[in-house]
Amino acid sequence: MPVVCSGCEGRPAVLKRPKTGHSLCRACFFWAFEEEVHQTVLSARLFRPGERVGIGASGGKDSTVLAHVMKVLNERYSYGLELVLLSVDEGITGYRDDSLETVRRNQQQYSLPLEVVSYQQLYGWTMDDIVRQVGRKNNCTFCGVFRRQALDRGAMMLKVDKICTGHNADDVAETVLMNVLRGDIARLRRCTAIMTGGGGEEGVGDGGVIPRCKPLKYAYEKEIVLYAYFNKLDYFSTECIYSPNAYRGHARAFLKDLEAVRPSSIVDVIHSGENLCVGVGVRMPVQGNCTRCGYISSQKLCKACVLLEGLNRGLPKLGIGKHQRLHDKILAQEPLSEKEERKLRAVDF
Ligand code: SF4
Ligand code: ZN
């Protein structure tokens, strides 16, 4: 006999919710999933009526589900938001070019405007070029720093008030674990905050100009996959060809083991991260502006400008690791010894 949905107690259940173990039909699962995101939006007061909101869209499952749910909730609950899609093209052949095709299809399917900003256009370097110069070990450092700025710059071009990204509960819990293991309280605070940047009341400084929020912060990855599957959403599921991130891989595997034993572990880890930060006096850096590009920065030059300087000079290690004295020398245009140059040129492939 088919199991009956515990939501409507009428239709047959088609799935068991990973988060709660409830057996639900499709319609009740959609409703439960969307209502939880709605509650997150309400309780954290993520948006105000009339705001123009950029959805960071990569073509992957998380941002595709985010765009879909935001459109549904905006209409169902009259949020009064103007939604736009915002994509960053890192210039990764065989990965981002294909996933951007998915975003372009999403743009049609959801009838939302789309803006694409590329590393090539902003920095004169694609990730393919960067990997050719810096190797496969530090590529994500460049990519992460550049993406943070690129999203902001794209958001400014689109004149949005806020950016929302598809970070899900698993992503947040993994990051909590990584930051606890590293003892990085400043990052711990930033990764658990539902809203960062922009200097708003709820905002936690992260160097971003435009406030960012994570409406899917409490949505489980497994449920996002189910939601996309049962809604037949069009998304791209290949991993980045340059993805090494071994450390995150271990945190992810550990979390999956915990989830298998107790599904609430993911949310429990997030709550632990949130509570660990309460009352901890973390000194946040004083924000100013980069003297070169004008972007918000706590140093004379922003991180992106330091990394770019290294790339353009053929010294890819500038800005990575502990070479502060050498950075200062280079940025002050003092000559380096041969040994010092060798240090900054060394690349790990
Ligand atoms: Fe960029 Fe790929 Fe690294 Fe992600 S995995 S930060 S897309 S290089
Ligand atoms: Zn700069």
Structural domains of the chain ordered from first start: 29-274 (3.40.50.620), 288-345 (no CATH)
* Closest ligand 1 atom number to CA of residue 143: 1
Average pLDDT over residues 127-148: 90
Residue 344: the pLDDT is 73
Largest alpha-carbon pair distance within the chain?
79
Q: What is the pTM of this model?
A: 0.88
Within a 10 A sphere around the Cβ of 340, how many other Cβ atoms?
Answer: 16
Tell which residue, 37, 53, 250, has the closest CA to residue 158: 53
| Tens-digit pLDDT profile for residues 22-35 | 999 999 999 999 99
pLDDT at 324: 65
Proportion of the chain in helix, strand, coil states, percent, rounded to 5: 50, 10, 40
- Give the side-chain half-sphere CA count within 13 A for 268: 9
Ligand 1 site, CB within 6 A: 90, 127, 139-140, 143-144, 240, 242-243
The DSSP bridge partners found for residue 87 are 116
Task: Calculate how far, in angstroms, residue 15's C-alpha sits from the geometric centre of ligand 1.
Answer: 33
pLDDT digits (tens, 9 = 90+) for 303-340: 899 899 889 988 877 777 666 677 777 777 777 788 77
Atom 3 in ligand 1: residue holding the nearest Cα: 140
| Ligand lying nearest the CA atom of residue 308 | 2
Ligand with the closest atom to the CA of 89: 1
Residue nearest to atom 7 of ligand 1 (CA): 240
Per the prediction, the chain carries an average pLDDT of 88
How far is ligand 1, taken at its centre, from the CA of residue 143, in Å? 6
- Which of 58, 92, 143, 145 most suits a substitution to test ligand 1, by most atoms within 8 Å of the C-beta? 143
**Contacts within 8 Å (CB) and 24+ apart, 291-299:** 295/149, 295/152, 295/209, 296/207, 296/208, 296/209, 297/207, 298/207
User: Which ligand is the nearest neighbour of the Cα of 319?
Assistant: 2
